Amino acid sequence: MSIASTPNEAPWEELSKDANRDRRRERRINLAFPVELFGFTITKRYFTERGVTVNVSKGGCQLRLKNQVEVRSVLAIRVAHPERSAELPQKPMLFLVSWVQRAGDKWAVGLLALQPETIWPVVLPEKLAAESRK
pTM of the model: 0.72
Domains of the chain: 28-132 (2.40.10.220)
Which residues are bridge partners to 94 per DSSP?
Answer: 76
Which residues are bridge partners to 49 per DSSP?
Answer: 37
Beta-carbon-side half-sphere exposure of residue 21 (alpha carbons within 13 Å)? 10
List phi, psi (to 5°) of 60. 175, -165
pLDDT digit string (tens) for 114-126?
998 888 887 777 6
Beta-carbon-side half-sphere exposure of residue 11 (alpha carbons within 13 Å)? 3
pLDDT above 70 covers what percent of the chain?
A: 66
| pLDDT band at residue 129 using 50, 70 and 90 as cut-offs | very low
- What is the Cα Rg of the chain in Å? 19
